[in-house]
Amino acid sequence: MAELKVVVAGAGGRMGAANIRAVAAQSGLTLHGAVAGSASLKLHAAVDRPGTEAIGQDAGLFAGIGALGVAITDDMEAALAGADIVIDFTAPQASVALAARVADLGLVHIIGTTGCSEADDAAIARAAQDGARIVKSGNFSMGMVVLANLVEKAAAALADYDIEILEMHHSRKVDAPSGTALLLGEAAAKGREISLKAHSVRVRDGHTGPREAGSIGFATLRGGTVVGDHSVILAGPGERIELGHRAEDRSIFANGAARAALWAANQTPGLYSMVDVLGLND
Ligand code: NAD
């Protein structure tokens, strides 16, 4: 069985620890009934920023499992040497820089980082054209892929209902709306065959006037330790439909990222999503 060498970037973060646990735990995942190229993942390196508390600690001990013999480093180049895959839940600037380097080296890049600007996304798409195999998603959980599909269908079927997307996350989250809320907004816009950018209302404050017909609204809540709650509300005359998802544990994202890594290892360079990983494109 081929052993694919994984670098966890952002190893000192909340998702970094979950990704270390997921990589350490899995040994060949089943994709649609077949073992993915009979490959398994092995933690090759764990990286974070210089000065981060996690630097120098054993990645396994840091993530709350047994020692893995891999010390968390701040030397990205050393970490990338000999690696096959980077699982990256960091920050937009870091992910953009890493994508360019991954393209040079022809590696797989699993990007969970949210809050990317249009320019960041364009740079990541260029890296995919330049030789990187990238899977990027605002939410790597299986349930969210299904929810996005339902939202697309509901938005199309209830074409004149108002769509509002509500999300809540822990108090330390730095971007808003969440990547998942935007992913759900894109799904709704796709169902309506409109551009999300042209129709989204991301903030309301003061005398806003009546709701603009056909817009897709976002509302953001922050507090406590909430891993991620999302609701899509379709409000029509005399009724409301709510489609929702509650993330209870970060392992749902880390397991999805590990699954995407195994899948991407068998793909040609390009930019992919979880819809591609799960074969739901048809
Ligand atoms: P966090 O702040 O706990 O962790 C981020 C880590 O990245 C930190 O340890 C930070 O030091 C590190 N980092 C930043 N720049 C770096 C660099 N240049 N090199 C190496 N490490 C660097 O945040 P988190 O809660 O773990 O979330 C990380 C990202 O993942 C956020 O953008 C978040 O929204 C996103 N996220 C995505 C999903 C998904 O399924 N796509 C799920 C959860 C969180």
Chain segment 9-21, per-residue pLDDT in tens: 999 999 999 999 9
Q: What number of other Cβ atoms are within 10 A of residue 164's Cβ?
A: 20
d(CA 144, CA 112): 14
Give the burial class of 257: count Cβ atoms within 10 A of its Cβ; 0-12 exposed, 13-18 middle, 19 or more buried: buried
pLDDT tens-place string over residues 261-273: 999 999 999 999 9
Three-state DSSP class for 218?
strand
Average of pLDDT values for 68-78?
97
Cα–Cα distance for residue pair 128/134, rounded to 1 Å:
6
Q: What local confidence, expressed as pLDDT, does residue 189 receive?
A: 98
Percent of the chain at pLDDT > 70 equals: 95
Spacing, Cα 94 to ligand 1 middle (Å): 9
**Cα end-to-end distance, the chain, whole Å:** 30
Of 256, 228, 255, the C-alpha closest to 244 is 228
Q: Say what the pLDDT of residue 154 is.
A: 98
Nearest CA to ligand 1 atom 37: 112
pLDDT tens digits, one per residue of 20-46: 999 999 755 544 444 445 789 999 999
Query: What pLDDT sits at residue 32?
Result: 45
The pLDDT of residue 281 is: 77
Active site residues: 169, 173
Pocket of ligand 1 (CB under 6 A): 9-10, 12-16, 47-49, 52, 89-91, 94, 112-115, 137-140, 179, 253
Element containing residue 270 per DSSP (H, E): strand 270-272
For 37-51, 111-125, 130-144, 235-249, which range has the lowest pLDDT when averaged over its residues? 37-51
Whether residue 232 is predicted with pLDDT greater than 50 in this model: the reply is yes
Look at residue 181 in the predicted model and tell me its pLDDT.
98
State pTM to two decimals: 0.93
- Predicted pLDDT at 220: 98
Which ligand 1 atom sits closest to the C-alpha of 115?
A: 32
For residue 115, how far is its CA from the centre of ligand 1 (angstroms)?
10
DSSP type of residue 211: P
For the chain, the average pLDDT equals: 95
pLDDT digits (tens, 9 = 90+) for 124-166: 999 999 999 999 999 999 999 999 999 999 999 999 999 999 9
Cα(265) to centroid(ligand 1), Å: 23
Q: Which amino acid is at 259?
A: R
Say what the pLDDT of residue 37 is.
54
Q: Given the CA of residue 114, which atom of ligand 1 is nearest to it? A: 32
